[in-house]
Amino acid sequence: MIATKFTKLFNVKYPIIGAPMFLVSNVDMVVAVSEAGGIGAFPALNFRPVEQYREALKAIKSRTKLPIGVNIIVNKSNIRQNDDLKYALEAGVELFITSLGNPKTVIQEAHKNGAKVFCDVTNLDHALKVQDLGADGVIAVASGAGGHAGPITPMVLVPWLAEKLKIPIVLAGGVADGRGVAAALSLGACAVSVGTRFIATKEASVDSAYKDAIVSSTPEDIVLTTRVSGTPATVINTDYVKKLGTDLPILVKMLKEHPLTKKYVVPLIHLAGMKSLEKAATKPTWKTVWCAGQSVGLVHEVLSCHEIVEKLVREYNEVIENLPHNG
């Protein structure tokens, strides 16, 4: 075991979350990570329509009695969020991860069920707000993370939040091996959320070209773009991304920022982005948009989820044993 506040809170062996990844996380991955000693998590919106989501929850819970996590988008563009919460609570989900909005309802309802809520944050202001709302912890999304990455380096973000917050912190961003786990815990995190490393797994049902791109890419191949969802997201700089550019068209950007049109335009941008990601992840296409973080540079082979968890723990222990000691 690697004992931390996180492992004690959920009664798991290792402070490792298999990060909920849009279009990547699936039933097999969630079960495998939880059975390996971490907590497997998935975005509710990976399963559409909502009936498929209910079936996925049943399938996961029939295959593991260990804690699992569900990510719920809590902004107004997600009209399914109440159903996503309701069915997860009925299934007995232990961990909720909220993103992109106000988590108040999720926190209140989850706590009635004895579940815990960790909220994605990229800065102190948001972290303090969710702490005040009763969140059980935050996931500090730092620079280098895949998808909607934050702007602050993990070397600063985690200790900064640790100084100001009373609730546990999980680091997301740049962790793909045991060195990252050791670094995160030394900075004041109680766990890590690992995403990009789990894309290159045997259980991931994404196209093999996506997995190959994770293995062959370097940190310099990762770029930040607003073209996918309107919110800055990190992707592999494929030929299509280069052609598309990384900024929204000027007219769309103006409509997105204008008070009178913002609430109509933002959901449309999100929807269009989800569709393009879905096509790229599930089948070869010249319109290739693959989300990934800078930790692609530390991924060298496709492994099973269980092998990755074991490798993270083994490498963590090696790092701790080999740290220099005074004298």
What digits encode the pLDDT tens for the residues 169-178?
Answer: 999 999 999 9
> CA–CA separation, 248 vs 228, rounded Å?
9
Three-state secondary-structure class, residue 291 = strand
**Is the predicted pLDDT of residue 267 greater than 60, yes or no?**
no
234 forms beta bridges with 147, 224
Find out whether 204 and 244 touch, Cβ atoms under 8 Å: no
Domain boundaries, the chain: 5-202+301-322, 208-294
Tell me the pLDDT band of 23, cut-offs 50, 70 and 90: confident
Q: To the nearest 10°, the Cα dihedral for 203, 196, 181, 219? A: 140
Residue partners of 116: CB distance under 8 A and separation at least 6: 9, 10, 94, 95, 96, 110, 136, 137
In the chain, the percentage of residues whose pLDDT exceeds 90 is 72
73 forms beta bridges with 99
**Is the predicted pLDDT of residue 86 greater than 60, yes or no?**
yes
pLDDT of residue 263: 56
pLDDT of residue 161: 98
Report pLDDT digits (tens) over 27-75. 999 999 999 999 999 999 999 899 999 999 999 999 999 999 999 999 8
Please tell me the class of the 5-202+301-322 domain: alpha beta
E-only strand ranges, 142-182: 169-172
